[in-house]
Chains A and B, each alone.
Chain A
Amino acid sequence: MIDRAIIGFRTKPFAAEVEKGRLRLFAKAIGETDPIYFDEAAARAAGFRSLPVPLTFLFCLEMERPDPYDWFDQLGIPLGRALHGEQSFEYHNGTCAGDVLTFESEIIDIYDKRGGALEFLVQENHITDQRGDRVAKFTRTLVIRHD
């Protein structure tokens, strides 16, 4: 069982710059074909400041931390036993290449099902941009298998 005392555990705030090359690589990896994700001129023509950050990429940027799984070790969660259970995003403002985004995460809940065979860990990430504006929030639920 994961110690419930870690509810409220926060990772150190982490800032990451949104890089054009990285966005293009990501767009390619998901099979994207829309030119706004590759070509700045197309992005501008579509009303974006630069290449837009794809809907799910904020999750990836949070993993830019030097060791994105360090808190698994700190909390004693075996990585190979963790599955992604749920993921949600709330978007307040669009983000684009060139933005510097700061991520602050907190474990907000832990619960179990099937008599403890499955544990669920819910982590919230608040994202602000270089102006300090809240741009998005995402919530990740991990499932830890104890079977």
Chain B
Amino acid sequence: MSGVRTLAGIVCVLALATAAPLEARNLTVADVRRIAGQAEQAAQTLGQSRYTVAVVDRVGNVLGVYRRGGASVVTLASGLPVRGGLEKISSSATGLDLAALAAIAKAVTGAYLSSSGNAFSTRTAGYIIQNHFAPGVRFTPGGPLFGVQFSQLPCGDVVQTRNPGARTTIGPRRSPLGLAADPGGFPLYKRGQVVGGVGIVAGARSTYGLDLNPRRPRADLEERIALAAATGYRAAPAIRADRITVAGLRLPYSSSDRQIPRVSRRTPLRAKPIAVAGYTTARPKSGRIIGRIGSGLIRANARNASTALARRGAFILENGRGANRYPARSAAASTGLSRAVVNEILQQALGVANQTRTQIRNPRNARAQVSVTVVDANGRILGLARSADAPLFGIDVAVQKARTATFFSRPDSAARLNRVPAHGIAGIRIPGGAGRVNATRQLLGNVLNGTAFSTRSIGNLARPNFPDGIDGRRPGPLSNGSTWSPFNVGLQLDLVQQRVLRSAISPTRPLRSCTIRPLGLDNGMQIFPGGMPIYRGNRVVGAIGVSGDGVDQDDMVAFLGLQRASRSAVVRGRIGHAPPQRRADQAGLRYVQCPQSPFVSSNQQRVCDGI
């Protein structure tokens, strides 16, 4: 019986996803007010006189932040007994309105991680970024999206307006605190399509952290309010994270399903919208419609991109006036990365994605949807394209991955890291890069001098234990080991921490780069799979970055996409993968891992071996 129900649900989702044109839905001001009103009722029901609710659209525009009872005192704390990084930063000590920032971050996370095939909440995010997957299970490797919390950063160049200082209206938008792992953020749906997200911070004191022990789940106050707020906009059960498995593990969505306060859509809203500097004014807005100019995302066509990309059904980032923010362009001539080559890589990667089985989307065996980018060896974006319904967070992450792969694969990576000095902000000491270089050398020898690192390989080095997940083993050289926490991960945070905090303190003066020295990692580095360096012969000339429907899928789309491009008539082998003897798997790290049952329309396995 319930099999029939599930099937019916899936069919409905499918029907809605295909019947309704993708560009048709958005959150109106009335929707925003309704959601805020439902949050208010739920908070009242639960006896909470102090709360902040943020509503964003799918591309991260903050549509409204409502508050009653003043700002909650928010402390960033993972719950692990460690210090350092962003741990223990609190609104009381810094004077920041962390309640509003945290609510926005949660709302953005709900919107960005979800699609019409998967609804992920901030609880889901908290599950996939921990040092073990499943969290709390010893000896298991880290979560598949380990490190994703430091994407969509408030500094950087991708999720940012092109004109710093101007009123920012173009998505995808930054998140003030990166992606949130603290329960209380959910995606919002209208007729099966993600139209935004809602985030709640409630209580006189609120900890912005994560559920370290999701295997003993407890209902969460903010989650209960957020679910009540999302009444009428909730995800279909068939696409919720708890119907999606990764490596056999079912992802959590909510642990408060049975304790959602009842709300009415007619009860008038009493809370007033507030302005959050750098994010929203005190006037609620309606959400952007993806695909229309002004949303930041439009369908690729021959004029704004290329016919090949248009044929792949790609979307591109637009600048608010319909122009492609990242049209394919050539790197220096010696690199071999001409405009045509970049276009070929992008379209081949999307071609692979269109064949690839998604890992995080229902119905099962759907095609993967991803964001793909190509950068040059300096981290400059040479082109970016994405599938229509790929989760939004992948845009920024794909660029992070590509930049990370090329940064570490350059022969001078050790030297460039060594030049990052120890620094600080507001009394927080941030270590430089030299210690990481030394630790890496101690573990693996002199590998930071031209070894080809994928972001999977870098991820192997950036886990709190090496090998990943094996408790008691020494820390990964790019990680903080015993003082690791999701707020204190190691090099990934060290490189961006100062700029992240500065952006929180001065949100109206956005920074174009998150690093204090130019490293070609302007929007931060990323430490989970999906980025591969591009070589011309023995020389690294750039990288491809992919992010979307599953990390092994990201890996494979990047790996096979680059491989196919390399063999295409356009490229003719001028560029391609790192020579096998240069790859990090020669040094004991994984270079790439393609998923089980990789393709939707065949039962092939092991499609990457020997490449």
Is B one of A's binding partners? no
Chain B interfacial positions (CB closer than 8 Å to A): none
Q: Residues of A at under 8 Å CB distance from B? A: none
